A and B are shown apart, each in its own frame.
Chain A
């Protein structure tokens, strides 16, 4: 069995962590071929070739594949799909955008957010905000899967696969990229950070959220937020951790002023160590926290920053 992994490309670069974790899942299913679709992404293909377990990298380089537009990329994947038993992509905004479209083009079901592989046909995935784990067996000839990257360990980068350039001539008149608004940040990326510090409604305002960012910076951590904090305008949506945001599983997760709604727990309960700081001693977050501190966050967080400094 040969497995196709659609690499995660940011701009012209390979998103190494997410792709390496997806390759890790793919290795359990068979021989791994990685597809890099983008424009000017030859270096990304070289980076993908170094991922352990990859036997070949396919490079599809064309301006039509820039910016992750779903229509041409899904068509490309569907066009080469017949050679593969499984098609995988990380369950990122980009992977979740493209792969269901691929599945429908192939007339197969998408299997979203796979967190465990039982065998080549059978997969585990969380449903109901992670309140249940469903094991499903696919009857489709090609399995199209997005991978919950927090459930798999990244492969090493010691490989040396060959890169084959595909001859492509995509047509896309349906969709057009206009602009990206991404914030440049020196902080680690949320889904791959070793430490995540998240703030919730209890933080109270966008200005106060700086306190969360300062604690994160003291720890070299990524910053997260609960949906309540995002909805209240304290933090941008791409910081959202939870059922409808990102799923993280860092070594250390510090929840500050977060009550612990089930939708938030869905995004962080697989973290190795969970710390909760909340003034409400009955907050549900304490039921999953390894270390709970009942305290006013405006006292505790500055104290924590100076204790760590």
Chain B
């Protein structure tokens, strides 16, 4: 079996996004970028499936700017076997829409024929939470989103999903798309020897044009603005002060 794992290069989880003064977007120039945290979990899960003998090969794919090479090298250092980069943007500020990404991924799936696609549930930049579901629709495959547990056996995957109010377990026929949630696993750090080895693993570079897919945006970004800010209120000296304020000033209890 083969697993395909899409990974996205995004602003580092610990960096606060700042809106550009001209309202054209979020400033990403000279900002620390990393692999989307959910995608790290997806890579880790694929590696664990390989270690458990369920799959033989892990292919990592990234779509975006050329610098996404670094993200793929991280995936390779963690344990992916080879990587495919689809260069589809030349400016780091250009974010491809999930529909366009899903179309490109479909083209990759068509040629690679994986048995399972394991993806992050959401990218922490555009917060769309959509690419996995869209890819599943385009392929006509079943989807198991927000996985907190994944069990792969003969021809199917049993997935426990994080849903509102608790957990849901479903079974999907392979090939399928699984999108992963936070509690599925804790991703490993790449060791230095593995980082060195990853430099020799194959990384194939393509462009969006190679696939003949229309990736023009459907959404025009009109403006990007700062959210309304909240100012700090008052410090209260005691629990009694707090209760008094909540009762008499705010009137909420």
Contact with B along A75-119 (1 / 0, CB 8 A): 000000000000000001110111111111101111111000000
Interface membership of B34, Cβ < 8 A: no
Query: Does B239 lie within 8 Å of A307, measured CB to CB?
Result: yes
Specify which of B25, B146, B219 is in contact with A109 (CB 8 Å cutoff): B219
Query: Does B170 lie within 8 Å of A177, measured CB to CB?
Result: yes
Query: Does A110 lie within 8 Å of B99, measured CB to CB?
Result: yes
Of all chain A residues, the one with the shortest Cβ separation from B167 is A181
Can you list the 6 inter-chain pairs with the closest CB atoms, starting with the nearest?
Answer: A182-B166, A104-B137, A290-B233, A128-B17, A100-B130, A100-B133
Known: A103-B134, A127-B26. A179 touches B235 (CB 8 A): no
Interface membership of B67, Cβ < 8 A: no
Query: Does B99 lie within 8 Å of A109, measured CB to CB?
Result: yes
Stretch at the interface among B57-65, B157-165, B196-204: B157-165
Total inter-chain residue pairs, C-beta < 8 Å = 265
Docked Cα-Cα span, A263 to B133, in Å, equals 23
Docked Cα-Cα span, A93 to B162, in Å, equals 8
Interface membership of B187, Cβ < 8 A: no
Q: Could you give 9 example pairs across A and B, Cβ below 8 Å?
A: A100-B134, A103-B134, A104-B134, A127-B125, A128-B26, A238-B166, A275-B242, A308-B243, A308-B253
Known: A70-B133, A101-B133, A104-B137. A180 touches B173 (CB 8 A): no
Known: A92-B164, A295-B239. A129 touches B124 (CB 8 A): yes
Docked Cα-Cα span, A303 to B99, in Å, equals 52
Stretch at the interface among B48-56, B77-85, B108-116, B222-230: B222-230
Task: Give the shortest distance, in Å, between A247 (CB) and chain B (any CB).
Answer: 11
Specify which of A98, A181, A289 is in contact with B166 (CB 8 Å cutoff): A181
Query: Does A109 lie within 8 Å of B234, measured CB to CB?
Result: no
Residues of A close to B135: CB separation below 8 A: 104
Query: Does A243 lie within 8 Å of B124, measured CB to CB?
Result: yes
Identify which of residues 235-253 in chain B touch chain A, using a CB-to-CB cut-off of 8 Å: 235-236, 238-240, 242-243, 245-246, 250, 252-253
Docked Cα-Cα span, A67 to B129, in Å, equals 20
Of all chain A residues, the one with the shortest Cβ separation from B161 is A93
Interface centre among A93, A111, A113, A173 (most CB of B within 10 A): A93
Known: A93-B164, A183-B166, A237-B148. A132 touches B235 (CB 8 A): no
Known: A128-B26, A137-B222, A290-B233. A179 touches B253 (CB 8 A): no
Of all chain B residues, the one with the shortest Cβ separation from A285 is B232
Query: Does B239 lie within 8 Å of A128, measured CB to CB?
Result: no
Residues of B close to A104: CB separation below 8 A: 99, 102, 133-138
Docked Cα-Cα span, A291 to B40, in Å, equals 38
Task: Give the shortest distance, in Å, between A291 (CB) and chain B (any CB).
Answer: 5
Contact residues of A: prevailing secondary structure: mixed
Query: Does B169 lie within 8 Å of A110, measured CB to CB?
Result: no
Interface membership of B94, Cβ < 8 A: no
Specify which of A70, A173, A195, A290 is in contact with B173 (CB 8 Å cutoff): A173
Interface membership of A41, Cβ < 8 A: no
Known: A97-B133, A112-B128, A179-B168. A288 touches B19 (CB 8 A): no
Query: Does A96 lie within 8 Å of B129, measured CB to CB?
Result: yes
Residues of B close to A174: CB separation below 8 A: 141-142, 172-173, 176
Query: Does B172 lie within 8 Å of A175, measured CB to CB?
Result: yes
Residues of A close to B146: CB separation below 8 A: 93, 97
Residues of B close to A131: CB separation below 8 A: 16-19, 26, 227
